[in-house]
Amino acid sequence: MNRSTCPDDTPILAARNLVKRYPRGREGFRSRPAAGIEAVSGVSFELARGETLGLVGESGCGKTTLARMLLKLLPADEGRILYRGVDLVPLSETEMRPLRRKIQIVFQDPYGSLNPRLTIGQTLRDGLHLAGVTGRGALRQRIAAVLERVGLPASAADRYPHEFSGGQRQRIGIARALSVEPEILVCDEPVSALDVSIQAQILNLLADLRESLGLSCLFISHDLNVVGYFCRRIAVMVHGRIVEEAPAEALFDAPLHPYTRQLLAAAADPLREVADAASLVGTQAAPSASPDACIAYSACPEAASACRAWAGDLTDAGGGHYVRCLRS
């Protein structure tokens, strides 16, 4: 595939202090509207070319909001999204269109993300059309090629989503993303809806494609076993912020943030002797009421009183390991 070369070591995708706020409804009739929730609250990361960055966090931590913002499916309230150094946030829909094919997404739910009334061919055709592929023959050829790439027969193009199993649908979702030859693939929980044996097939497929197409990936999951398998570098997200980012080995073997340690303790690895996890606080509690408190305060098993008044930034712990914690 012909790729324009990126001469310097500018990250292919970078986020700088991205913020997304959702308004909260009124608590009761005629009361004042409550302050909004920051679903994503100042997230920065860099994705080098050909790299895979894993993003782990529990439900509600802002993973999916972040993914949607990166694709401009949701407008960012603050911050910048840099694609090869170009800020995407101020771009209009028209200006964005040629760049859309560079960044594609694979969604979590293989059932909800395909239009049930379109054949697979029609679904794939739309993206290709916008990417400038025209002519029946050329379209048919491209569709057959991309279906083959994800391990489906060309005849799949004439069938409807309900005729496929979950794993096959996820292949179709991947085909849709790849059809326009993107450089960056954002995978939002691509395997969490699948059975173990199918999950392995899809992870192998994604690994093959990443290799052969030189894709850069942002891989979002709640499952530490999946992220640990697929990603060399991992960021941990809590309540809209990244609290730790490190090479996978360092994160698993020497986690610095108490929340990461808790997550690792809770994730059951069947092949390992399991010690009973230390007291788990959970993250169900809403983001802490005090805006000055550490973001992980309500979820942190080791929070001290000083954490209540601490809102520091990620600090460099050496060796590419970054942590946002007063105590480490």
Partner 1 sequence: MASANPGVLLAVEGLTVRFRREQESFHAVEGLDLTVRRGETVCLVGESGCGKTVTALSVMGLLPRPAAEIANGRIRFDGIDLAAGAADYPPGIRGRRLAMVFQEPLTSLNPVLSIGDQIAEGLSFHQGLCARRARERACELLAEVGLSRPEQRLSDYPHRLSGGERQRVMIAIALACGPELLIADEPTTALDVTVQAQILRLLRALKEKRDLSMLYITHDLGVVSRIAERVAVMYAGEGVETGPAEEILRRPLHPYSAALLDALPGRGKRGRRLAAVPGAVPHPAARPPGCAFHPRCPYAEPACRRERPALIPLPRARAVRCPVTAATLGGKDAGR
Tell me which residues touch partner 1 (CB under 8 A): 58-59, 165, 167, 195-201, 203-204, 207, 222-226, 228-230, 232, 248-249, 252, 262-263, 265-272, 274, 276-277, 280-284
The two structure tokens encoding residue 227 = 């992220």
Strands 233-238 and 241-247: antiparallel
**Measured from the CB atom, is 134 or 279 closer to partner 1?**
279
Distance CA 201, CA 110 (A): 15
* Closer residue to partner 1 (CB): 204 or 315: 204
List, as one string, the DSSP characters of 151-208: T--GGGGGS-GGGS-HHHHHHHHHHHHHTT--SEEEEESTTTTS-HHHHHHHHHHHHH
Residue 176, Cα to own-chain centre: how many angstroms? 17
- Cβ-based nearer residue to partner 1, 83 or 164: 164
Q: At 208, give phi and psi (nearest 5°).
A: -60, -45
Q: Pick between residue 83 and residue 219 the one whose CB is nearest to partner 1.
A: 219
User: 107 vs 259, which CB is nearer to partner 1?
Assistant: 259
- Smallest gap from Cβ 270 to partner 1, in A, equals 4
Name the minimum Å distance from CB 5 to partner 1: 26
Q: On the CB side of 179, how many CA atoms lie within 13 Å of its CA?
A: 31
Report the alpha-carbon distance of residue 85 to residue 83 in Å, rounded. Answer: 5
Min dist. Cβ of residue 141 to partner 1 (A): 27
Contact 178/150 with Cβ under 8 angstroms? yes
Shortest approach of partner 1 to residue 112 CB, angstroms? 16
Smaller CB separation from partner 1, 229 or 310: 229
Tokens of 305: 């009183």
Comparing CA positions, the residue from 180, 119, 187, 127 lying closest to residue 154 is 119
Task: Give whichever of 160 and 252 is closer to partner 1, judged by the CB atom.
Answer: 252
d(CA 41, CA 17): 7
- Which residue type, as a one-letter code, is found at position 48? A
Taking the complex as a whole, the smallest distance from the CB of residue 274 to partner 1 amounts, in Å, to: 6
The structure tokens listed for 212 are 């052969």
Give the shortest CB-328-to-partner 1 separation in angstroms: 20
- State the nearest-atom distance from the C-beta of 252 to partner 1, in Å: 6
Shortest distance, position 280 Cβ to partner 1, whole Å: 5
**CB nearer partner 1, residue 249 or residue 292:** 249
